[in-house]
Amino acid sequence: MFHVPCSMKLLITGGAGFIGSNFIHHILKTYPDYEIINLDALTYAGNLENLKEFESEARYTFIKGDICNKELVAELVSKVDIVVHFAAESHVDRSILDSEAFVRTNVIGTHTLLEAARQAGNKRFHHVSTDEVFGSLGADEPPFSEITPYDPRSPYSASKAGSDHLVRAYFHTHGLPVTISNCSNNYGPYHFPEKLIPLIITNLIEAKKIPIYGDGMQVRDWLYVQDHCRAIDIIIHKGKIGETYCIGGNSEKPNLEIAKTILDLLHKDESMLEHVEDRKGHDKRYAINFAKIKNELGWEPQVTFEEGLLKTVTWFLENEAWWKSVKSGEYEKYYLKQYQK
Ligand code: NAD
Ligand code: TYD
């Protein structure tokens, strides 16, 4: 196990994105002595409004920069105890349209970070990955676990699989103290409204239809983002070096069922559903067996899908300014206003 100093300094990559920003909220609120450097390139998916409340916090530093920038990454990695790596291109549909940025950030960016961690004397490294690296399940197949063979099928999942292999290679070859987590689909506050759940909620509030790909019977295992953040917290403190942990939400749902549940919550009817052309190579089902992290580290999801979805719908209703600024593109000016005065 990694010896955890009582006050840790973390380099969070991709901390202005959906899960990374929730993780920063979690760490700064849970550990009063921890310090965070957030390295984020502020692509379309990065939004500093997610972290507004920490702007004047001495324990929190934001650096706008690219994880492929070797000099910057080396300098930042040398200043911290651990790297928690979230930064990625994360949207499957975008990877189908153009996958170059996926290979660059997800593969080369991860390699740049690993190499910096090695050169800084083998720094502790946690890599956040996805269940999509395992491919697609049939209806009756058992859920993915840590021993499922890799079988990525989209440019996104292939680039994440490449990054996972590099992380494992740095453990085996260089003894880099790594852990990896492969989690299922997250949802919750600050979720970028190009992804299914926030897209449904925000479209319905704006009285726009919901695009359902194909028959809508594809299944995902939904994980409330704060449960995911707790799991990463436990792994970085108690995880066994060199190990992979699968993190799931215990909530397998077809897309159509999710859409109908949100229609009910927002008092809309099924005329708002619009079946559109299916995604190319659409993975049918993802599901996670999280027995390993439950048995070895004592983690399991605490938020049921019903509770999590209600919390999420409520958050989007109460934070209309946040998602309207994202949908209009206004949020991209926030950085300029805050940091380039
Ligand atoms: P996101 O797209 O919301 O955020 C990604 C962040 O990375 C953004 O802030 C972006 O600006 C930053 N970034 C992108 N390229 C960068 C670069 N070259 N240098 C520095 N920063 C860069 O993603 P997310 O949904 O928060 O996902 C975070 C991680 O979790 C990713 O690694 C993703 O693969 C993984 N994951 C996500 C889910 C999910 O449901 N969202 C599920 C499983 C795994
Ligand atoms: P998404 O949120 O993009 O996550 P992922 O592809 O990583 O699982 O999509 C979740 C599911 O919802 C997936 O089966 C694709 C489907 N989907 C739609 O039916 N309509 C949409 O507009 C989007 C964005 C996704």
Domain ranges of the chain: 9-188+222-253+286-304
Q: Is the CB of 24 under 6 A from ligand 1?
A: no
Q: Please choose, from the candidates 196, 193, 176, the residue with its C-alpha nearest in 3D space to the C-alpha of residue 184.
A: 196
* Beta carbon of 38 within 6 Å of any ligand 1 atom: no
Q: Is 72 exposed, middle or buried (0-12, 13-18, 19+ CB in 10 A)?
A: middle
For ligand 1, say whether the CB of 177 is within 6 Å of any of its atoms: no
pLDDT value at position 341? 35
Report if pTM > 0.85.
Answer: yes
Q: What is the pLDDT along the chain (341 residues), one digit of tens a residue?
A: 566 777 899 999 999 999 999 999 999 999 999 999 999 999 999 999 999 999 999 999 999 999 999 999 999 999 999 999 999 999 999 999 999 999 999 999 999 999 999 999 999 999 999 999 999 999 999 999 999 999 999 999 999 999 999 999 999 999 999 999 999 999 999 999 999 999 999 999 999 999 999 999 999 999 999 999 999 999 999 999 999 999 999 999 999 999 999 999 999 999 999 999 999 999 999 999 999 999 999 999 999 999 999 999 999 999 999 999 999 988 887 766 665 53
Residue nearest to atom 7 of ligand 2 (CA): 92
Closest ligand 1 atom, residue 91 Cα? 2
For ligand 2, atom 3, the nearest C-alpha belongs to: 195
Indicate if ligand 1 lies below 6 Å from the C-beta of 90: yes
Q: Is 11 in the pocket of ligand 1 (CB under 6 A)?
A: no
Instruction: Choose which CATH entry (1.20.120.350, 3.40.50.2020, 3.40.50.720, 1.20.80.30) describes domain 9-188+222-253+286-304.
Output: 3.40.50.720
How would you label 109-146 residue by residue, b for 16+ Cβ within 10 Å and e otherwise?
bbbbbbbbbbebeebbbbbbbbbbbbbbbeeeeebbbb
Atom of ligand 2 nearest to the CA of 185: 8
pLDDT at position 338: 63
Residue 2's nearest CA partner among 299, 171, 236, 243 is 236
Residues lining ligand 2, judged by CB closer than 6 Å? 92, 185, 195-196, 199, 211-213, 218, 220, 255, 279
Smallest CA separation from ligand 1 atom 14, residue: 88
CA of 158 to the centre of ligand 2 (A): 17
Ligand 2 pocket mutation, candidates 195, 217, 327, criterion most atoms within 8 A of CB? 195
Atom of ligand 2 nearest to the CA of 90: 7
Angle at 36 between CA 30 and CA 37, to 5 degrees: 160
Alpha-carbon distance values, 86 to 15, 125, 167, 236 (Å): 7, 11, 13, 13
- The confidence score (pLDDT) of residue 331 equals 86
Q: Annotated catalytic sites, by residue?
A: 131-132, 156
Residue 209 and residue 90: Cα distance in Å, rounded? Answer: 24
Amino acid code (one letter) for 54: F
**71-128 confidence digits (pLDDT tens):** 999 999 999 999 999 999 999 999 999 999 999 999 999 999 999 999 999 999 999 9
Encode pLDDT of 73-86 as tens digits. 999 999 999 999 99
Nearest listed ligand to the Cα of residue 228: 1
